[in-house]
Structure formats: C-alpha cells, structure tokens
Amino acid sequence: MPGPLAGIRILEFSEIIAAPFAGMLLSDMGAEIIKVEPLEGEPWRLFAPFVPTESRTYISLNRGKRGLTLDLTKPEAREVVRRLVPKTDVVLVNYRPDVPAKLGIDYESLSSLNPRLIYCDNTAFGRKGPHAHRPGYDVIVQGLTGLMALEGKSLDGVPVFNAHAAADYSTGIMMAWAVCAALYHRERSGRGQRIDTTLLGSALAIQNTTFQLVESVDLEWRQRLLKRLEQGRAEGQDYEELRAYLIATRPLQAIGNIHYRVYKTRDSYIVVGALSASLRRKLCDAIGVEDRRIGDPDWDPTKPASREYAAALVAEAEAVLRERTTDEWLALFDAKGVPAGPFRFTQELLNDPQVLANDLQATVEHPLAGTVHMVGAPLQMSETPLAVQGASPALGQHTDEVLSSLGYAANEIAALREAGAVG
C-alpha cells in the first residue's frame, strides 16, 4: 500500500540535520527524495566517516533518498536543475541565506520554472533583523534562544551546550509539517508557495512556556531581571551567578519537587511524572509519604518554613525510593496508577520490546556500510502506512539514473562528468 505522499517528488538541497531530517520524514511518507550534494559530498558525510564518505550521522538522516551529485557553480549542473524543477513538487533548501541565489536555486528562479512549486527554505535566524546575514548552527541558536541555559549545565562557570540538537531536529519536523500543509493548499488552490522556517523560530516554539510573559503577574519581575542581568554582565559576573539569580526570583518555580523527576532506586533509576493533584496523591500513597501542599491554595512556597518543609520532603522521598528495585517500584506504581518508567540510555533500546512491538526499529542494507539498524517511521496511518524506503544513498549513487530520467544520453552524461558538472 503506497504512503500518503506517494507520487510527490522532492528536490533536496541540504546539509547537516534540519532539512535532511525533514526529507527523511517525507520519504517515510512515500515521497521520492532526490538529494543534491556537491561532488565531494555534504559536510555530514565527512564527519568522522567509518568508510570513505560514509558517516553514522549522514546515514541516520538520509535514508530512503536518491543521491545526485552536482557542482552548482557549473552552468551544465544548473541546467540539470532546470530540467528537474518542472517535474518537481517540493524543494527543500538548508543553506546560508546568501547561497541559494548564488547557485541559482532561490525561490524566484525556481518558481518561475514551475508556479506550482512548493519551496521550503530554512535559515538559522530568518531573513530580517540584525542576525539575518549570519550562518548558524544548532549550538549558536541554543545560546541565542536560552535553550542552552534551560538545564543549567556548566563547566567552570561556562554554559555547556545540550548534546541533542533540539533546534535542528524540531526544525526538521516543522519543515515536514509545513510541506504537507502546503501540498494540501495546492490541491485546493492549484498554487505553490514559499515556506520560511528558522532554527530560531523552532527553538522558541519548543520553549513557549519559558518565553511567555503574563503582564499582570510577570512584568515587574522581568524588568528587575533584565536590569540585574545587565548589571551583572557589566560587573563581569559569571554564568552561575546570573543563573542563580534567575532561579531564585523567577515566578512559579517548582520548589521541593517530588512528583516529576528521576529517583535512584536500589539497583538503578526510575522516572516519575505525576503532574495533577490526583496523581500526586497516588504517588504519595504509593511511597508512603504525606505532602501537605497538595490542594492547599494558601501554600506560600517563598516562606523559609515552606522551603525547609520541601527540602525535608524531597529527602524523605529519595530515601524511600532507594529501598526497592526499579522493577519493584514499577509494579507498585502500575498497580496504584502512578505514571512511571525505567531510565534507559538510547543504546539500550535497539532491541527493546516496546520499541519492537511498535515497529520503531528499521533495518536497511547500505551499499557500502552493509546492514544498518535505525529508528523506524515515527508514526503510522491506517490507510496510507509509512515505511522506510531504503538506506541513505552512497555519494552520487543515483546520478546517472536521475540524469537518464531527464533525457540525458550516455555520451551526454559522460560529457557532464568530464566537465566536472556531475560526480
């Protein structure tokens, strides 16, 4: 049974994470993805390769695609793009803001060849504002948007970036989501359009509660905070001091949290998430502690006595959780209706029964790397099921195949290769 995007052709000019991830998700939905790379391959291929031009990072983000190598500085290579675009539904672009126009793959150039074209362009910061001209990576956007400060990790007083590229991956999802919406709009209107996504926008979107300001209760606090941060930076205060002030003064902070956290058990760790009052009561009942704060509208967490009570409650809960194994606690929490789960490292999940039962692992055969096990399609649809379409392409693997489909004869392909336009 074909996927929901069967028959859709997507031309992907991409590198690193965001757009490659978007293209991979759309491939799982059945779209044909033609990934265009420079002759030497995109940078992620060359990051810690285990065989020439093949790295784990590249393979993990580019499955199910056809690989086409073009030197877009050559007019012959641009002609290949001009032949492809009229037969293309979607273009994904993930380059620095100034690059598409220099290579002739900007929206204006390509949409003139195909008015029904959907063009999804991702930049780090958007095309307006003081940062618009800058190239950017996930780590830079983490720093700019506060993502890096969210968990408070630091080394010798210097913020440490989050190892998971949250801005990149969330942007990939945003791009795939927007493309599907634009395809639906085109079905109704017959018109293509341009989509602009940004790492900046995605990073803020996944922090919407932290970003939010309720003027009636937060405005005075924010004004004090901004003044304090400005003063602290002027005085050379380090990150730890500035963040400590933020934590100590921010509204509605969770003090003495026993209900949404990780606990050490007798043999491992367990994760508990009990956000509602009824679930918190179930947790307290299960572990045999009393939390007088539940359901008390007059409880003031800022009072010294309240802080002492919270600290003592945390210590009591931690001591109780250490008395049994993780499996023992999970059995009890299941019986009591308390949301909980074991703590795992990602590497432990390859053959996890829950992962396998939900078809979240896929196995593909790579032409150079051999058998590769990877995350499968992240969702399913009853009438148009998603499926992994194959491994990531070897560098330029489908170049001749794509060129032949555009009407290039064997001698013409040889001439393009001789001219250095294709790989």
3-state secondary structure the chain: CCCCCCCCEEEEECCCCHHHHHHHHHHHCCCEEEEEECCCCCHHHHCCCCECCECHHHHHHCCCEEEEEECCCCHHHHHHHHHHHHHCCEEEECCCCCHHHHHCCCHHHHHCCCCCCEEEEEECCCCCCCCCCCCCCHHHHHHHHCHHHHCCCEECCEECCCCCCHHHHHHHHHHHHHHHHHHHHHHHHCCCEEEEEEHHHHHHHCCHHHHCCCHHHHHHHHHHHHHHHHHHHHCCCCHHHHHHHHHHHCCCCCCCCCCEEEEECCCCEEEEECCCHHHHHHHHHHHCCCCCCCCCCCCCCCCHHHHHHHHHHHHHHHHHHCCCCHHHHHHHHHHHCCCEEECCCHHHHCCCHHHHHCCCEEEEEECCCEEEEEECCCCCCCCCCCCCCCCCCCCCCCHHHHHHHCCCCHHHHHHHHHCCCEC
The arithmetic mean of pLDDT across residues 67-88, rounded, is 98
- Between 254 and 242, residue with greater pLDDT: 242
Angstrom distance (rounded) from CA 295 to CA 281 = 10
Q: Supply 106's token pair.
A: 């900007």
Angstrom distance (rounded) from CA 79 to CA 362 = 37
User: What percentage of the chain exceeds 90 in pLDDT?
Assistant: 85
Residue 255 clears pLDDT 70, i.e. is over it: no
Q: What is the pLDDT of residue 156?
A: 84
Angstrom distance (rounded) from CA 34 to CA 173 = 19
Question: Which of the four pLDDT bands, split at 50, 70 and 90, describes residue 330?
Answer: very high
The arithmetic mean of pLDDT across residues 22-38, rounded, is 98
Residue 412 clears pLDDT 80, i.e. is over it: yes
The pLDDT tens digits for 346-395 are 999 999 999 999 999 999 999 999 999 999 999 999 999 999 999 999 99
Q: What is the pLDDT of residue 253?
A: 55
Angstrom distance (rounded) from CA 223 to CA 239 = 19
Q: What is the pLDDT of residue 252?
A: 52
Average pLDDT, the chain: 94
Measuring CA to CA, how many Å separate 256 from each of 2, 101, 189, 291, 390? Answer: 51, 54, 54, 10, 49
- Between 218 and 417, residue with greater pLDDT: 417
Angstrom distance (rounded) from CA 16 to CA 44 = 5
Chain centroid to Cα 139, Å, comes to 13
Q: Which residues are catalytic?
A: 168
Most distant pair of Cα atoms in the chain: their distance: 84
Q: What is the pLDDT of residue 246?
A: 84
Q: What is the DSSP letter of 3?
A: -
Angstrom distance (rounded) from CA 202 to CA 260 = 25
The arithmetic mean of pLDDT across residues 13-37, rounded, is 98
Angstrom distance (rounded) from CA 225 to CA 244 = 12
The arithmetic mean of pLDDT across residues 322-336, rounded, is 97
> Rg (Cα) of the chain, in Å, rounded?
26
Which residues touch 279 (CB under 8 Å, ≥6 apart)?
259, 337, 338, 339
Residues 90/93/99/101 CA torsion (nearest 10 deg) = 20
Angstrom distance (rounded) from CA 410 to CA 407 = 10
Length of the chain: 423
Q: What is the pLDDT of residue 302?
A: 76
The arithmetic mean of pLDDT across residues 109-135, rounded, is 95
